[in-house]
Amino acid sequence: MGGPLIAPLPGTLVSILALFALAALAVPLARTPLGRPLVYGASALISATAFVFGVQGMLGTPATLVLPLGVPWMGAHFSLDPLAGFFLCVINLGGAAASLYGIGYGRHEHAPQRVLPFFPAFLGAMSLVLVAADAYSFLFGWELMSLASWALVVAHDKSADNLKAGFVYIAMASFGTLALMLAFALLAGGGDLTFATLAHAPHGPLVGALVLALALLGAGSKAGLVPLHVWLPLAHPAAPSHVSALMSGVMTKVAVYGFIRIVFDLAGPPAWWWGIPVLAIGGISAVAGVLQALLQSDMKRVLAFSTIENIGIIFIGLGLALAFRGNGLMAAGALALTAGLFHVLNHALFKNLLFFGAGAVLNATGARDLEKLGGLIHRMPTTAVVMLVGAAAISALPPLNGFVSEWLTFQAILLSPALSPWGLKLLVPLVGALLALAAALAAACFVRLYGIAFLGRPRSEEAAQAVEVDRWSRGAMVGLATLCVLAGILPGPVLDALQNAVGPLMGARLPVQTDVAWLSIIPVGESRSSYNGLLVFVFMVLSAGLMALVIHRFASRALRRAPAWDCGFPNADPITQYSASSFGQPLRRVFARTLFSAREEVTMPPPGDSAPARIRLTERDPAWALLFTPLARAVEALAERSNILPYLTIRQYLGIVFATLVALLLVLAIWR
Amino acid sequence: MSPHLVFDIAHLLAGAMVLISLMMLYQDRLTALIKVFALQAVALAASVAWQAYAHDAPHLYVTAAIALIFKAIALPLALQRMVTRLGLHRQVETAVATGPTMLAGLGLVGLSLVIMLPVTATSDPLAREDLAFALSVVLLGLLMMVTRRNAVSQIIGFMSMENGLILAATGARGMPLVVEISVAFSVLIAFIVIGVVLFHIRERFDTVDVDALDRFRGGRS
């Protein structure tokens, strides 16, 4: 047998081209009834193919290619190294799942011509960013990705909220691209802009620091790091659910890739303090994201805020890797980077899954508001089971995949005493505490989400009448749930594959995990820690099975149906159940009162009045109040003052043209 | 024929165009303005034809014919019909007083001569004079567009500008016929489009005074 039939890099480029062609084809196809299955089916196939190329790229040697496209004198450079290959896998896995889900979910789309053409273009643009090997192609793909996703966010432009979300999103996206552009320009310092040259271009410590700051601004605004996250909870829920899944689960990963590419690869060896800002921002994002998720009652907004938390966790891993590498601890850095990359994969898996589930619930009940759901476990059994898997995974419960990556991050944090600078010595344990807090709050958040939506009794007529979603959607969700379980109980092969990407960046690798007996993973050393997902899984299955057996065998068989104890309130309505906001109340009072100015106002009717008492909850994101509102006001005032041109009359415009012409001619006449 | 005579006749015709442009500036009735515009087109056709003869460039005769047929006959007739249908033929329009406009126009002619003559010092005298006159015609057309309030006179200003461009192009040893024809067509299309728009404006606002559009738009004039 020779090598693979098609080399992975040209194959990926062809896939990207095919996705763009599909996007063009989707314009006429969208109006036909067969268009939806055709477009989504084709994009699922292409994404699956690109996934295979990604696996090959991750395991193989780096390849490069120059095509005579783009900027005339330099062409377009592409390359596929293991890092890009890994992200290509993640993105196309998510893309394939979302396409599969879209086959069924898209049936409920009332304006398919506004979604279908942009969906494959969005997928293609994301892959294009990953294989780009010069700044022009990178930024082109980046901007294309922003624009395509913007079009998807405003696909349902009837609602003013969506339009506002689109506006905030496009403003932030442009800002992010500007920051990245400046970062590349600083790195190049006048030389050419291919990544191969950028990586070896010499630059001083000041330029390095600026590049780090710009990468944090540019990639961080796309990924949703606090305080640049404000667009994310607006834009992600506004898109159709499978697109929300892509934006939250996959597009944020492209941003993580951009950050890794610029800071780890192109910016050269890090200074000792580079990890500090990344760690601090990551820790704050993790806690702030999950706290705000706890305050929301809109299901998709909960998920969007939880994305901010997970991006925070990923950046904690990246920050640790920078800190370790900056201080010469390559092996520890490799562990931290592996943890971050593994969490990239995991978050893509379970966030896609959860968004698909939210979409399924939205389709079945027409509601995203948790206060209108309940009892769905009886009406939508498959969705309920996969959502449970997703919720457990994102809450980092063993034996699922979320646990493995967060455990690895903690292992890296536990290595921090080896760091010599005192700033880091003190900061890293603090970040560890933040991470622990975030993990615990995430568990609370998803207990709340799952419990309110799927357990209890239905809180609305629609929830009581919900029906299970179609086969395609269920297939996509079950597939992702299976992958969550698999990555959780067999993390060894994934970790080994990741080492190809980690090795060149950190100059060190983790020990090979697949050699360890009994499928355990031992990231640092046997004496320190090891984890065996399979063992935990088997133990849980056995103990739970045993318990069930014992109960059924030995418990009384006498069955008696009796009314539930009603606490003295006869005829309890479903509305008397715990609601989403009541579940969140303790945490809201403890944490969110000062941080997010969360307030509760209770209006009681006067005695004798039979009107219901009302409670109104308000909260405010400090990022808006402290940063964006003043900024927007300043920009507006400046624009108002400086821009008089749009308000002239037609003759004044002509007059300006005329006067300019005459003035120029006069200059010419006098000059000679 | 002596070269002096060739030069003098070319000079005469191009100078006539500038003169007619200046004449257009003080026409305050649309009917008269259209007639003056037709006269300018005739002068343009004559000038181009003379260039064709002088330079022995037969394709310029086509240009001359296009100018004569389209600009001197077809467009003025169409404009005249338009004005009649819009009921503007009795209207007197004044935006900027005639005196200052004429002074500005004279200044522009002077400016273009001052600029063009030194710039083109090396080329042959025929082209030099032609270019200077052409620039004057362009500037005068633009001046007319700026000073008039009525949309029809703005169109005429625009087309008179285009006359100046053609004069410049033929003076510089002619331009390719394809370019020539496409320019003629684009002007024609522009005319049609503007005509249609005019009728729509008229329907909506009951006037073709562009200031009314600005008022409607809420401009801060």
The reply to whether B109 falls in a domain is no
Residues B100-115 pLDDT 10s: 889 999 999 998 888 8
Which of chain B's residues have a Cβ under 8 Å away from the Cβ of A668? Answer: 115, 119
CB atoms within 10 A of CB B216: 11
Asked if A648's CB is within 8 angstroms of B219's CB, the reply is yes
Element containing residue B38 per DSSP (H, E):
helix B30-55
Which of chain B's residues have a Cβ under 8 Å away from the Cβ of A666? Answer: 111
Q: Residues of chain A whose pLDDT is less than 70?
A: 1-5, 72, 569-572, 646-647, 649, 672
The reply to whether B69 falls in a domain is yes
Determine the distance in angstroms separating the CA of B116 from the nearest CA of chain A, rounded to an integer: 9
Q: Which of A662, A86, A168, A633 is nearest to A346 (CA)?
A: A86
Mutating which of B136, B142, B194, B216 best tests the A interface, going by the most A Cβ atoms within 10 A?
Answer: B142
Determine the distance in angstroms separating the CA of A638 from the nearest CA of chain B, rounded to an integer: 19
First to last CA, chain B: 57
Determine the distance in angstroms separating the CA of A671 from the nearest CA of chain B, rounded to an integer: 10
A63-67/A599-603 β-pairing: unpaired
The predicted structure's pLDDT at residue B219 = 47
Measured between CB atoms, which of B115, B146, B213 is closest to A668? B115
> Rounded to an integer, what distance in angstroms lies between the CA atom of residue A259 and that of residue A277?
13
Owning domain of residue B154: 3-90+114-217
Domain assignments of chain A as residue spans, ordered by start: 134-536, 579-618, 636-671
Which of chain A's residues have a Cβ under 8 Å away from the Cβ of B114? Answer: 669
Mutating which of A658, A660, A661, A666 best tests the B interface, going by the most B Cβ atoms within 10 A?
Answer: A658
- Complex ipTM value: 0.79
Measured between CB atoms, which of A649, A657, A672 is closest to B118? A672
- B182 confidence band (pLDDT: 50, 70, 90): low
> 3-state class of B110 per DSSP?
helix
- Confirm or reject contact between A654 and chain B (CB < 8 A): yes
Q: Report whether the peptide linkage leading into residue A62 is cis, meaning its omega lies within 30 degrees of zero.
A: no
- Confirm or reject contact between A664 and chain B (CB < 8 A): no
Determine the distance in angstroms separating the CA of A669 from the nearest CA of chain B, rounded to an integer: 5
Main-chain phi, psi angles of A365, to 5 degrees: -120, -15
- Confirm or reject contact between A645 and chain B (CB < 8 A): no
- B10 confidence band (pLDDT: 50, 70, 90): confident
Residue A151 has which token pair?
């079009």
Which of chain A's residues have a Cβ under 8 Å away from the Cβ of B25? Answer: none
Asked if A666's CB is within 8 angstroms of B111's CB, the reply is yes
Asked if A657's CB is within 8 angstroms of B211's CB, the reply is no
Asked if B219's CB is within 8 angstroms of A649's CB, the reply is yes
Determine the distance in angstroms separating the CA of B220 from the nearest CA of chain A, rounded to an integer: 6
The reply to whether B121 falls in a domain is yes
Closest residue in A to B150 (Cα) is A651
Determine the distance in angstroms separating the CA of A665 from the nearest CA of chain B, rounded to an integer: 7
Please, is B135 exposed, middle or buried when counting C-beta atoms within 10 Å of its C-beta (0-12, 13-18, 19+)? buried
Identity at B201, one-letter amino acid code: I
> Rounded to an integer, what distance in angstroms lies between the CA atom of residue A160 and that of residue A141?
29
- Confirm or reject contact between A422 and chain B (CB < 8 A): no
The predicted structure's pLDDT at residue A608 = 86
- Confirm or reject contact between A653 and chain B (CB < 8 A): no
- Confirm or reject contact between A671 and chain B (CB < 8 A): no
Closest residue in A to B210 (Cα) is A650
Residues A214-269 pLDDT 10s: 999 999 999 999 889 999 999 988 889 999 999 999 999 999 999 999 999 998 88
- B220 confidence band (pLDDT: 50, 70, 90): very low
Residues B35-90 pLDDT 10s: 999 999 999 999 888 888 887 878 788 888 888 888 889 888 988 888 888 777 67
- Confirm or reject contact between A670 and chain B (CB < 8 A): no
Which of chain B's residues have a Cβ under 8 Å away from the Cβ of A669? Answer: 111, 114-115
**Helix ranges, A604-649 (H):** 622-623, 629-642
Asked if A661's CB is within 8 angstroms of B108's CB, the reply is no
- B221 confidence band (pLDDT: 50, 70, 90): very low
Give Cα B9 distance to the centre of its chain: 20
Residues near A595 by beta carbon (within 8 Å), at least 6 away in sequence: A288, A291, A622
Asked if B142's CB is within 8 angstroms of A661's CB, the reply is yes
Mean pLDDT of chain B: 79
The predicted structure's pLDDT at residue A1 = 37
- Confirm or reject contact between A672 and chain B (CB < 8 A): yes
Residues near B32 by beta carbon (within 8 Å), at least 6 away in sequence: none
Residue A445 has which token pair?
């958040």
Which of chain B's residues have a Cβ under 8 Å away from the Cβ of A667? Answer: none
Closest residue in B to A665 (Cα) is B115
- The answer to whether B163 touches B17, Cβ cutoff 8 Å, is yes
Measured between CB atoms, which of B95, B112, B146 is closest to A658? B146
Asked if B112's CB is within 8 angstroms of A652's CB, the reply is no
- The answer to whether B49 touches B64, Cβ cutoff 8 Å, is yes
- Confirm or reject contact between A24 and chain B (CB < 8 A): no
The reply to whether B74 falls in a domain is yes
Closest residue in B to A661 (Cα) is B139
Asked if A647's CB is within 8 angstroms of B219's CB, the reply is yes
Measured between CB atoms, which of A654, A658, A665 is closest to B115? A665
- The answer to whether A165 touches A183, Cβ cutoff 8 Å, is no
Which of chain A's residues have a Cβ under 8 Å away from the Cβ of B214? Answer: 649-651
Residues near B63 by beta carbon (within 8 Å), at least 6 away in sequence: B48, B52, B166, B170, B174, B177, B180
The reply to whether B95 falls in a domain is no
The reply to whether B189 falls in a domain is yes
- Confirm or reject contact between A538 and chain B (CB < 8 A): no
For residue A268, the cross-strand partners are none
Residue B61 has which token pair?
């005769």
Q: Report whether the peptide linkage leading into residue A82 is cis, meaning its omega lies within 30 degrees of zero.
A: no
Asked if B219's CB is within 8 angstroms of A658's CB, the reply is no
Number of domains chain B is built from: 1
CB atoms within 10 A of CB A584: 24
- Confirm or reject contact between A663 and chain B (CB < 8 A): no
Measured between CB atoms, which of B111, B115, B210 is closest to A651? B210
- Confirm or reject contact between A665 and chain B (CB < 8 A): yes
CB pairs under 8 A between A and B: 45
The predicted structure's pLDDT at residue A2 = 43
Closest residue in B to A658 (Cα) is B142
